[in-house]
Structures are given as C-alpha cells and as structure tokens.
A and B are shown apart, each in its own frame.
Chain A
Amino acid sequence: ARYRKVDEDFFEELEEVLLQADVGFETVMELMEELRYEVQRKNVKDTSNVQSVISEKLVEIYESGEQELSELTFAESGPTVILMVGVNGVGKTTTIGKLAQRLKNEGKSVMLAAGDTFRAGAIDQLDVWGKRVGVETIKQSEGSDPAAVMYDAVRAAKSRGIDVLICDTAGRLQNKVNLMNELQKVHRVISREIPGAPHEVLLALDATTGQNAMVQAQTFKEVTEVTGIVLTKLDGTAKGGIVLAIRSKLNIPVKFVGLGEKLDDLQPFDPQKYVYGLFAEGLDQEERQTPDSDK
C-alpha cells in the first residue's frame, strides 16, 4: 500500500476525526498548530511516520498539567474512603461494583455505602453489586439523608477495620445548586469522621458526553476536590475526547476506563493507548486514487 502524503488534506481529515471524537474545538486547533510545526521540523513525509508524532503531541496536551499519579491513593492507616460522584446515569453505581471487585482481587477488604437514597431502586442496585462481589453494603431506607448514611458507613468501616469504603452518591446535574450543596455536606461528613478522607473523589464521565463534560468536571471539582475521572462506556463508538482538555485545563487525570457492564470491565487508564484510539482508526491511511473533489 502506498501511504498518504502528509498534506493539507491530511491535516483537515485529522482535524475532523478528532472533532468527531469530542476532543473539542480549542484543543484540536492547538494540536493542529503544533502538529504542523512538528511535521515541518522533523520533515515527516508520509502518514505512516506521522502517527507517533500525533500520539506524542496528544499525550503532551493531556499531560501538560502537573504530573500526577493515575493510581489510587490509599490511606496510610485506617480505612481509605472513595467517593463516587457525577451527573445522572453516567455509570457511578456500576463502576463501584467493578472497582470493589478489583480492590478485593488485590486482597483488600471492601465495604460499600448506599448514598443514593433518592433514585428509585438505587439502593437495591448497589446492594446487588455488593452481593456479586461478596462485600457488605451499608444502607438506610429510600428517602433518608445521604449524609447520615455516610456517617454510618464510615463508622462501620472504622470499627470493622475495613481497608476501602466506596461511597455511592445520587446522580446530579452540576447546575443544581441545592444538590451540589448536599454533596458538599456528604463530603464534609466523611472528612470529619476521618481526617484526610475521602482519599479519592472519582468523577464518573460518560464517554458519549460532549463538550458539557468540561463544565461537569469544573463544577464537581469546585465542590468536592475531584481527584480522578472514570471514563465509562468506552466499549461503544464514542471516545470521550474532552478528557484531554479536562486534564490539561483542570489537571484532573483519568484513572480508570469502563468497558462494559460486567464486573471485570474496568481497566486502568493508559494515555498512549487511549490517544491512539482517538484518531488512528478514523484516518484513511492509504493514498487515494482520485483526489477529493468535494472540498
């Protein structure tokens, strides 16, 4: 196969592929500029050689914030508390099930807290995941105060010497001030019971989400000091490219990706692999016989 030349057509196509991966206008423009420069500097001629340059640049954009571990932080002693937050339906509760399984496989004792007391069936849903993994779920009845559930759960985790407590919260849109205040209260209750907790606040982001994910990250970070992102539903055709901009602007790293609805469908985030997936399959790599005429 004859590889395509790296020409204006190629750049235009790359731009479109990245925009269609929800990377966002500004980030794409920034990348294109740097890429043009880099391609010229390194004298890259065909697309088979440009791939690594694109990957490098994308990872650079992603990591332009401070270096931060993408691994979970654990408490030095006593229970580690992980708080799961995010807008409605993104995959918080499911991720908790998968994460619990993962931590249990690492030999840790895990407990869950059913902090979504609002949505119909939410407590039961978490409880089913808890049973699947074989860990206990601390819960109260529907409609009770989520902060009270957290209080109970933290106490139980402490007294039973649990290694990791993972707390579910109700989905909430970031522009709902009351609900964000409620979340802040939940956060406060946990911190009061265990100084330094929650050790992780994971924001679940749905990979199908477009540019609104940036505001989600911004607002949740303000309210709960988000420490990492779980990018869910990457098993579909959506790419969630906005996490690049989120990382570079807000310095929130992606820690895990969700790849399905089963217990083992959670994987650590690998930036190289991820950015490659953003553009590689979308690009037409081979020389086309007839030049595009519809431009």
Chain B
Amino acid sequence: MAFEGLSERLQGTMTKIKGKGKLSEADVKEMMREVRFALIEADVNLKVIKEFIKKVSERAVGLEVMESLTPGQQVVKIVKDELTKLMGGEQSLIEFSTRQPTVIMMVGLQGAGKTTTTGKLAGVLRKKNNRKPLLVAADVYRPAAINQLETIGKQLSLPVFSKGTEANPVDIAREAIEYAKAEHLDTVIIDTAGRLHVDEDLMQELKDIRAIKEPDEIFLVVDAMTGQDAVNVAQSFNAAIGITGVVLTKLDGDTRGGAALSIRTVTEKPIKYIGTGEKMDALEPFHPERMASRILGM
C-alpha cells in the first residue's frame, strides 16, 4: 500500500472531480495533499515538496476540462512536467580540460558507490571518448579500499596510481597528476574516501585535493535510496567544495529515487550519470523524464 504509484493514489480524487468543468481551489488543494503524500513516500525532501506544490498549484487552479484529459489527468501531467523541469534538461556529460590532464574527483558519503563508479566512468570515457584514464587510490582509510580499486583497474586493464595507506591523500593526488602528465594519460579520476558532510577535517582534505589543480569535474556520488537527508548532504558538499554534477547510484533497485529531485533542486547542479548495477558496464547518462516517471511510479 505504501508503495503504490502516485497515479493510483490519485485515482480516487480523480473520479471525484471527473464530472466537473473546472477545478476549484478546494479540488486542487485536495489533489495536492495526495501529491504531497506520494512525494514523501518517494523520499523527496519536505522543503522541496513545499516549493514544488506551490508551483504546481498555481498552474492547476482554474484549469478547464479538456476533451481528452480529465482535470485529474491534467494535474498529473503538470506534476510530471514540473518534476522534469526541476530535474534539468539533458546534459553535456563531461567537461574535458584543454590543459592536460582532465581531473575528475569523486566525492560522497560512505558506501555511496564512489570506487565502483570511478571504474565505470573510466571505462565509459575510454570507450566513448577515447580517453586514457588513470585511476587514483586516494582513500587511505577504508580497509582494503586501495585493493578494491586495484582489482577494478585490473578488471578493466586500466592503470591505478596508489601509494599505500601511509601516504597522505593530498600528496597521492598531486603525484598522480604529475604521473599522468609524464605518462600521457589524459584523464585522472580520483577516488576519495567516503566521509560525512559534517566531518570538518575530512571536508578540508577535499578542499586541499581540489586546490592542487582545479578539477574539471567534481562528482557527488549519491545512493538513490537516500531519504530526507539527501539535501543536507548535497548542500554541505556543494558549499564546501563546489560540486559540478551528481552521479546517482543503485538505480537498479526498486527505490523511487526522490533524492534526485531534492539534490537537483538545492544544488542546481545536473545529475549526469546513473549507476544501474554492480558490474563495470552499468553506468548510463541521466534522462530527467525517465526519472520523473519513476518518482511518480508511472
């Protein structure tokens, strides 16, 4: 019951107002209550929902009934339109630098999927953009994080730069960029350790890595199952280091993925890729429209 789609949820309300020629403010209010419920169940952030409802209500009041669509259906369409708009248009995927190498930093909470996505992204850039990536093992904290990235590198036959767990992540990143220049590797992807957005020391570490050579992309990697806290996380990372885009992972699950909307809204940064599996080929460009449908469950 809790996981029915918005369209189903709206059925009741829709039948009630089907016969009406015009939507009254009360009708719209009632429908918006249902929309709010559905979006909460989809993990869209509450504050984001408030703003959203306001916008949709403005468009919905006074809608005339059209031949083909009931007012209820029209509202659903408006909701979907606005959701899609909020999630941004199709994006250019990666900004490559004119000064070699292009530097991409992967950041985010623990367990979001940074290391896995580092591998996937490298694979995509080699295949689609003909790049020569270097993977950089800058997580010296998580047990066997380096081993994890090295294993991924081996699977993909891509070079991995590592200096063990005694080295400082900032030094590792600096030397990796030098190494890439010397070896003519044109794309450096830095896998950083998972960290909480409230961990000041570790957020400072990201700023220090960032200061070595302004990264061309800083991707915030976010688990699609994230709940209400997604906005705090995204806002904090963005405020601290200025992310350039988002990768949403684990979309092969059955979560609604409302976090996508929240993050996009509070950071105004595009979702560029989605992770759709554990294997190295499971990375896809993001399509706002599909995501809107998914959040609404239709």
Interface bits B44-59 vs A (CB < 8 Å: 1, else 0): 0110000000000000
Residues of chain B within 8 A of A24, CB atoms compared: 2, 40-41
Residues of chain A within 8 A of B144, CB atoms compared: 121-122, 124-125, 127-128
Question: Are B40 and A208 in contact, with the CB atoms below 8 A?
Answer: no
Residues of chain A within 8 A of B225, CB atoms compared: 87, 206, 209-210, 212-213
Question: Are B255 and A210 in contact, with the CB atoms below 8 A?
Answer: yes
Report how far A125 CA is from B148 CA in the complex, Å: 9
A163 at the interface (CB under 8 A from B): no
Interface bits B263-289 vs A (CB < 8 Å: 1, else 0): 000000000000000100000000000
> Looking at the complex, which of B15-23, B88-96, B106-114, B206-214 is the stretch in contact with chain A?
B106-114
Question: Are A208 and B227 in contact, with the CB atoms below 8 A?
Answer: yes
> Looking at the complex, which of B78-86, B176-184, B246-254 is the stretch in contact with chain A?
B246-254
A145 at the interface (CB under 8 A from B): no
Nearest to B275 among chain A residues (CB) is: A88
Report how far A90 CA is from B111 CA in the complex, Å: 6
A215 at the interface (CB under 8 A from B): yes
Report how far A208 CA is from B232 CA in the complex, Å: 11
> Looking at the complex, which of A191-199, A220-228, A230-238 is the stretch in contact with chain B?
A230-238
**Residue in B141, B145, B198, B254 with the greatest tally of chain A CB atoms within 10 Å:** B254
Report how far A19 CA is from B278 CA in the complex, Å: 31
B151 at the interface (CB under 8 A from A): yes
Nearest to A130 among chain B residues (CB) is: B143
A21 at the interface (CB under 8 A from B): yes
Report how far A243 CA is from B49 CA in the complex, Å: 23
Interface bits A228-267 vs B (CB < 8 Å: 1, else 0): 0000010111110010000000000000000001000000
Report how far A26 CA is from B254 CA in the complex, Å: 20
**A112 → B minimal CB distance (Å):** 13
Residues of chain B within 8 A of A89, CB atoms compared: 110-113, 223, 250
Report how far A185 CA is from B150 CA in the complex, Å: 30
Residues of A72-120 whose CB lies within 8 A of B: 87-91, 97, 118-120
**Residue in A22, A89, A128 with the greatest tally of chain B CB atoms within 10 Å:** A89
Summarize B's interface: helix, strand, loop or mixed: loop
Question: Are B109 and A120 in contact, with the CB atoms below 8 A?
Answer: no
* Cβ-Cβ contact count across A and B, 8 Å cutoff: 147
Contact of A236 among B145, B198, B256 (CB under 8 A): B198
A25 touching B41 in the complex, CB below 8 Å, given contacts A120-B155, A211-B227: yes
A46 at the interface (CB under 8 A from B): no
Residues of chain A within 8 A of B233, CB atoms compared: 208, 237
**B202 → A minimal CB distance (Å):** 11
B171 at the interface (CB under 8 A from A): no
Question: Are B46 and A20 in contact, with the CB atoms below 8 A?
Answer: yes
Nearest to A245 among chain B residues (CB) is: B2
Report how far A88 CA is from B278 CA in the complex, Å: 9
Question: Are B253 and A210 in contact, with the CB atoms below 8 A?
Answer: no
Nearest to A124 among chain B residues (CB) is: B144
Question: Are A208 and B141 in contact, with the CB atoms below 8 A?
Answer: no
Report how far A129 CA is from B259 CA in the complex, Å: 32
**B274 → A minimal CB distance (Å):** 14
Question: Are B46 and A26 in contact, with the CB atoms below 8 A?
Answer: no
A214 at the interface (CB under 8 A from B): yes
**Residue in B41, B149, B253 with the greatest tally of chain A CB atoms within 10 Å:** B253
Contact of B40 among A25, A174, A237, A238 (CB under 8 A): A25
Question: Are B254 and A237 in contact, with the CB atoms below 8 A?
Answer: no
Nearest to A91 among chain B residues (CB) is: B111
Question: Are A175 and B196 in contact, with the CB atoms below 8 A?
Answer: no
**B249 → A minimal CB distance (Å):** 8
Report how far A237 CA is from B229 CA in the complex, Å: 7
Residues of B221-267 whose CB lies within 8 A of A: 223, 225-230, 232-233, 250, 252-256, 258-259
Give the top 3 A-B pairs by smallest Cβ distance, nearest first: A210-B227, A89-B111, A121-B148
Residues of B that sit less than 8 Å from A by CB: 2-3, 37, 40-43, 45-46, 109-113, 115, 141-145, 147-152, 155, 196-198, 223, 225-230, 232-233, 250, 252-256, 258-259, 278
Residues of A that sit less than 8 Å from B by CB: 16, 19-22, 24-26, 87-91, 97, 118-122, 124-125, 127-129, 132, 142, 173-176, 206, 208-215, 233, 235-239, 242, 261
Q: For the A-B complex with A173-B254, A209-B226 known, give 14 more contacts whose Cβ atoms are closer than 8 Å.
A: A22-B228, A22-B229, A25-B40, A25-B41, A89-B112, A118-B278, A128-B144, A175-B252, A208-B227, A208-B229, A210-B228, A210-B258, A211-B41, A211-B227
A-B contact pairs, 11 of them (CB 8 A): A16-B46, A19-B228, A24-B2, A25-B37, A88-B111, A120-B149, A125-B143, A132-B143, A208-B226, A233-B196, A236-B109
